[in-house]
Amino acid sequence: MAKCYALLGWSLPVIESMQKLGKPYVVVSFPDFQAYAEENNIPFVPYKFNEWSDTSNSLDLLEKLRTFDADVAVPLFEETVEWAGALNSIFRDDPRVLNRAFLFRNKAMMKRKALIGGLRVGLFEEVYNKEGVKKFMDRLNEANLQIDGEEDSWVHIKPFASAGTVGHRLLKSKEDIDRKCEDGDFPCLAESHLPGTEFSCEAFIHGGKIRFLNITEYVKLGYSNFIPEGHRLNSKRDRIMNEMQKLVNIFGIQYGMIHPEWFLTENDELSFGEVACRIPGGHILELASKAYDFDALGAFVCCHDPNLTEEELNELLPPLDARPSEFYGNVMIYPRKNQISQLVIPEELKEEPYFLDHTLVPPLTTQKLDTREGFGNHFGTVNFKGEDPDRMRELLLHYENVDFYQ
């Protein structure tokens, strides 16, 4: 059993889970959180993850963690993945753990690895400027046998190392490239558009084996998702499981949780999108906890511990073949105007049997909104629960387009 988990990042629900499970832990995060941590008796090491120097590096952090006897590092934020990798490679005495962490932080490297291992991926390339994207689009058009006057093939660009939808742009034409790309976007990854239903998996891994697999159905990327997966994806569960284990093997992941995104086409072709190994966005673990009735955050942390016993694992995780009868979904609400003055909860929502709860807060008097980064900061979430996944999808699509803020 781990002597002490070093939690890199900041998440109150994770800390609460650790307290409830009675596991030893220390939180490593930005100095801003120190006062709160002291006030609430949270073991804490202040550290500036965004600084890398002679006095701010993993060896230095390791020293600071010694007093806590930490022996497992857990990344909570995207930005702490390399830090956790570096620490764990020392804890486990395996330098490749760090290399693996880099794999998660470079989307081009990640794709190459997947391709080498035999997963289906889109066409991708590292690009350095707008011209590069245009040339990429040209080659893609060529490969797709474009005839004069036909529309361009769609291209996505993404920063190498950002979480979720931050910096993600969909480019549908050459004009789009000129209009939407900014100099600051480069260098980055360009890739062809993958068609199909998008979903994510949350695989809890121990000893290189998937011990529990959740599938999250995306209704609209960045806006809404639900758990467990609907009927169609569920019928492919075995195939997905196989591909997932393949991914785990290719990447050589031993401990922790991975959160990849996949695309399933109408002809049942499965393509790999990208993968992360921190807590996923979209409140996914919150939904999973409810749907499967387990402590997903606690399990996420504990899976990082190589010394976790089989009994403990069985206690923490739902059975591999668990299939909840009720679906939990949410839709993230973004204001749709530049200036908002009030929150309006529609009557139909109050009367909706699937409606569970919401975390929407009224705006401060008349609030002007910052420009959006990625999909921007959502103002809150509306949660649903019900027995029919198709009805769930319908509701999530509907409420994504409702103006909660006016």
Partner 1 sequence: MDNQAIAEKHQQMLEELLNEYTKATVLTKPEKAQKLMGQVDLMADSKEGLEMLFEQIPNLTEAGIFKGSPWEDASKLVPTLVNGTLKSGHPNSTIEILSELRLLSVAKGKFDLEGLTQEEAANYIQEVVVSNLEFVFNEPQEETRLVMSKHELSKVHSLFKFLSSYTDYEQVKAKIAEELYLICEQRPVVTEKQRKIIAWVKEKIELNPEDPEDQKLLSFQRSIYRPTKRSVGHDFRSYRQLLSTLSEDELKEESGEISEMMLKHGLVSQFQASLLLHLVEHKHLNLVPVCLGLNPTGVARFNEMSTYVMQLITEVIDPFNAQCIYGLGKMLENGILSREAVRSGLSNLLSIRIHPEVEKRILKSTRTPHEKVSPKQYLIGAVFRILGQPLGVGQGNNPTCQSARGISMWSQHAPAKLIHMIQTAAVYDDLTFRFEGREIKYSTTPQGLVQVLDHNLDAVSVTLVPMLDRVYNEMMRLASGRGEDPHKWVNPALYGQWIQMGFASAYDYMSDAIIDFDGFVKVFYAMCHPDYNGGNRLVYPNPVGIFITSAKAEMLGFHAVSLLRVDVDPKGELRAYFLNPNNEGRQDWGQGIKPSVVGKGEVYGESSLPLHQFAARVYAFHYNTLEATDKMNNVPEEKVQRVRELAKESWGKSYNWLDIRKKW
Shortest approach of partner 1 to residue 287 CB, angstroms?
14
| Rg of the chain on CA atoms, in Å | 22
Cβ atoms within 10 Å, residue 299:
28
Is residue 12 a contact point for partner 1 (CB under 8 A)?
Answer: yes
Q: Which is nearer to partner 1, 343 or 397 (CB)?
A: 343
Report if residue 56 touches partner 1, rule: CB under 8 A. no
- The one-letter code for the residue type at 328 is Y
Count other C-beta atoms under 10 Å from residue 150's C-beta.
Answer: 10
- The reply to whether 13 sits near partner 1 by the rule CB under 8 A is yes
Q: Which stretch binds partner 1 (CB under 8 A): 129-137, 177-185, 221-229, 358-366?
A: 358-366
Q: Out of 342, 372, 390, 403, point to the residue binding partner 1 (CB under 8 A).
A: 342
Q: Which of 20, 96, 209, 232 binds partner 1 (CB under 8 A)?
A: 20
For the bound state, the minimum distance from the C-beta of residue 352 to partner 1, rounded and expressed in Å, comes to 8
What amino acid occupies position 85?
A: G
Q: Nearer to partner 1 by C-beta: 140 or 395?
A: 395
What are residue 64's phi and psi, to 5 degrees?
Answer: -65, -30
Q: Which of 4, 62, 163, 356 binds partner 1 (CB under 8 A)?
A: 356
Residue 105 touches partner 1, criterion: CB under 8 A: no
The packing angle between helices 81-91 and 96-105, to 10°, is 170
In the complex, minimum distance from the CB of residue 13 to partner 1, in angstroms, rounded to a whole number: 5
Residue pair 344/406 in contact (Cβ under 8 Å)? The answer is yes
- Using an 8 Å Cβ cutoff, are 47 and 61 in contact? yes
Alpha helices, DSSP H only, in 128-190? Answer: 130-143, 174-180
The rounded distance, in Å, linking the Cα atoms of 72 and 80 is 14
- In the chain, the amino acid numbered 333 is I
**Site for partner 1 contains 21 (CB under 8 A):** no
User: Smallest distance, Å, CB 353 to partner 1?
Assistant: 6
Instruction: List contacts with partner 1 (CB under 8 A).
Output: 12-13, 15-16, 19-20, 40, 342-345, 350-353, 356-362
